[in-house]
A and B are shown apart, each in its own frame.
Chain A
Amino acid sequence: MTTMGSFWPIEYLTSFICLFVAVLMTLVYLKNRQKIHEKRHERRGWTPMVSVIIPAYNEEEYIAGCLESVLALDYPKDKLEIIVVDDGSTDDTAKVAGEIAKKNPHLWVMRKPNSGKADSMNQAIAKAKGELVACLDADSYVSPYSLNRILAHFDSDDVAAVAAGVKVRKASNLIEEIQRIEYLYALFSRRIMNMLNAVTVTPGPFSIFRREVIIKVGGFDKTSLVEDQEIALRLQKHGYKVNSSADSDIYTEIPHSFLELMKQRTRWQRGGFWNAMKYLDLIHPKYGDLGIVILPFGVFGYFLLVFSLLVFADSILVHSHYEQFIGMQAFFLGLNPLHILVLVWFVISFFWFFFGIRPMFKEEKIGLPSVLLYLFLNPILTAIFWFSAAYSEIKTGGKFTW
C-alpha cells in the first residue's frame, strides 16, 4: 500500500508550515492574552490637537451621519479640527458638509478636483493644525469614546499610528454577515499582531497618525490601491511602531452584495500584492517578528494560493472522473491525512472564536452558525477574489484605477 498524489511532498510541507504558524500565533495569544484583552480607556491627561480628515467623493448619502458622529466625540472642541475634503464630487457632498460647517466653526470643507483618497489626505494634512491626524472614511461612524480609546494606545513617542477598531455597522444579509465576522476576526488578529509589533494595516475608518511623521515619510502613497496598508508598512520601514486598538468601536458601511464585495476585494487583493512586493525588503530579522514570521508568511500565502489552485484544478480536471460513479463514498474514501489538518485548522479557529473573539466583543451578538458560515465560505470567497484580482491585473496591465 502506498500513498502518492501528484503534489504530495509540497502539500505536506505547505500544510505543516500553515499548522506551525497557526500554533505559533495561538501560543503568542496565550502568552499575551491579558494584554490583548486589556481595555485602554484613558488618554492619561494627554490632550493633543487632533485633525479629523474626511476625504469624500460622492458621499452625500453618508456624510451627514459621519459628521454627526464626529461632532459628538467626547473630546475638547478647541482641540479638535474637522476637515471634509470634497474630492471633486459630482453630487451634493460639499453642500451637505458646508451646511453642517456653518454651525460648527471647527469644521471646514476643502474643495478640490478629483485626485483620489491618498492625495486628498496629503493635501489636508499639509493644511491641518493637529499634532495628530485622523483619517476617516466618509461612510464610517465613530463612537463618542473612540478618540480617547485610540489615543490611549499612543503609549510611546515612537508610536506613529494607531489602527482603529473597525466593525461592521449593520449586517442584514449573508454577504454582510460574513464580513461582520471577518472584521471581528481581523480585529482580534490585529491585536495579536500588535503584541509582535507587526500591525500591517491602518484601516481607513479612523486610524490616527502623528502628522509630523506622516509628512516626514512622504505622506500617503497616491499610486497604491490600498494606501492604508502601504503607509503602515512604510512607517515600520522607517523604524516607527504601529499599534492597534480593538475597542474603539468605529462602525463602517460595507458592500451589500457579492458583486460590490468582489469589486472592493479585487482592489484590496491587487493593492496588497503590490504592497507586499514593494516591501519585500522588510523580510529581514532587523524588523523583528514582522520580518521573520508575519511578512514571510504573507508572501508564502501567495505561493499557497497558486499551489492550492493547482491542486484544486488537478483534482477537478484530472482526478474527478470516478466520483460521479461512487457518490458519497467519494467523501469517505477521499479523506486523507491532510484533511485531518483542515480539522485542526477549524479547531484552532474555534478556539480563537470562543476564547478570544467572543470575550473581546461581548456586545456583538456572534452566533455559531455565522462563524461556521464564515469559516467555510471565506476561503472560497478569497479564492474567487484572487481570480478576479489576477484577471484584473492582466486586463489592465497592472494599471491602478479605483
Chain B
Amino acid sequence: MVNLAGNPREISLSTYLAALFISAVIFAAGIYVGKVMETGNLATLSSGIDSANNKMNSVEMLYLMGEDSPAICPVYRSELHNLDAQTEQLGYQISYLEDKGTRDPELKKSYFMLEASAYLLSQKVMAKCEADYAANYSTVLFFYNNSNCPNCTQQGYELLDVKKRLGESLRVYSFDGGLGSDIVDVLKLKYNVTTYPSIVIDGNRTISGFHNNDWISAQLNATQNNTAISAPSG
C-alpha cells in the first residue's frame, strides 16, 4: 500500500517572512530611487525654464535697444525662433511627465509665465517686423483645464496633430486655466476665454469648445489667406 503524502509544505513561515521583508526593502528602495530620479527630472526642467527666461531677457533687451531700427528684425526672428523651440520642448516634456502621472503645479506656473512672456514678446516683434515674418506663420493659444474638462486632453492631442502637420509655421502656447496662475487669468481676460477648451488664433479670434485637427487646420488656413490678402505688397 503506497502512502500518499501528497504535497507537504516545504517553505517555512520564516522563509515567507524573510521574502516579505527583503521584497519590502527592495520595493521601498526602488520607490526611493525612482522618486529621486523624478525630482531630478523636475529640477532639470526647472533649470531649462530658467535658461529660457535668460534667453528671453536678452531678446527683450535687444528689442529695447533696437526699437527704431528695422535692420535688427532678422536678429529678432532668429532669437525668437530659438526661444520658441526651447520653450516648446519644455512644454512637451512637462506634458509628457504629466501624462505619465508626474505633476508639479509650481513648475507649470513658472512655465506659463515664460510662455506668456514669450508670446507677448513675439506678438510685439511680429507687429514691428511684419515683413520678416512669412504670411503663413500662425500662433494658437490653447486654454485647458486639467481638473474639470473631459475634452481638454483630446483637444491637446488634436493640436499636436496640427503642429505635426504645419511644423515651424505654427506655434502653440498652452495654458492650464485651473492652476490659479495670474498670468493665465490675465490672458483669459484679454482674449475673452470663459470655457474650456478654447483656442485663440493669431491673437484675434477666440474659439470655444472641442474641435478636431482638420477643422483647426482649415481655420488656420482661412486666417492665413485673409492675412495674405490683406498684407501689403512689396
Q: Which residues of A contact B (CB under 8 A)?
A: 1-6, 8, 15-16, 19-20, 23-24, 27-28, 31, 157-158, 195-198, 236, 238-241, 285-293, 318-319, 321-326, 329-330, 332-341, 344
* Contact across chains for B104 and A1 when beta carbons are under 8 A apart: yes
* A157 partner residues in chain B, CB cutoff 8 A: 2-3
Selected A-B contacts with CB under 8 Å, 16 pairs: A1-B38, A1-B103, A15-B27, A20-B20, A20-B23, A197-B8, A288-B6, A289-B10, A291-B7, A318-B99, A322-B160, A336-B100, A337-B33, A340-B30, A341-B26, A344-B30
Q: Chain B nearest CB: distance from A2 CB in Å?
A: 5
* Contact across chains for B92 and A322 when beta carbons are under 8 A apart: yes
B31 at the interface (CB under 8 A from A): yes
List residues 1-49 of chain B with CB under 8 A from any CB of chain A: 2-11, 15-16, 18-20, 22-23, 26-27, 29-31, 33-35, 37-39, 41-42
* B89 partner residues in chain A, CB cutoff 8 A: 325-326
* Contact across chains for B96 and A195 when beta carbons are under 8 A apart: no
* Contact across chains for B23 and A16 when beta carbons are under 8 A apart: yes
Q: Which residues of B contact A (CB under 8 A)?
A: 2-11, 15-16, 18-20, 22-23, 26-27, 29-31, 33-35, 37-39, 41-42, 88-89, 92-93, 95-97, 99-104, 156-157, 160, 164
A330 to B102, CA, bound (A): 13
* A23 partner residues in chain B, CB cutoff 8 A: 19, 22-23, 26
B contacts with A: majority SS? helix
* Contact across chains for A195 and B30 when beta carbons are under 8 A apart: no
* Contact across chains for A158 and B7 when beta carbons are under 8 A apart: no
* Contact across chains for A5 and B101 when beta carbons are under 8 A apart: yes
For the complex of A and B, 5 pairs with smallest distance between CB atoms: A337-B34, A239-B4, A288-B7, A340-B30, A5-B101
A1 to B106, CA, bound (A): 8
Q: Chain B nearest CB: distance from A35 CB in Å?
A: 11
Tell which of B100, B102, B104 has the most Cβ of chain A within 10 Å: B100
- Known: A293-B11, A321-B160; 6 extra A-B contacts, CB below 8 A, are A1-B102, A4-B103, A20-B19, A236-B6, A239-B4, A324-B164
A197 to B9, CA, bound (A): 8
Given A20-B20, A333-B41, A337-B35, the answer on whether A288 and B8 have CB atoms closer than 8 Å is yes
A326 to B89, CA, bound (A): 7
* Contact across chains for B35 and A321 when beta carbons are under 8 A apart: no
* Contact across chains for A341 and B6 when beta carbons are under 8 A apart: no
Q: Chain B nearest CB: distance from A213 CB in Å?
A: 8
Q: Chain A nearest CB: distance from B153 CB in Å?
A: 8
* Contact across chains for B92 and A3 when beta carbons are under 8 A apart: no
* Contact across chains for A323 and B9 when beta carbons are under 8 A apart: no
* Contact across chains for A286 and B92 when beta carbons are under 8 A apart: no
Given A3-B102, A344-B30, the answer on whether A31 and B6 have CB atoms closer than 8 Å is no
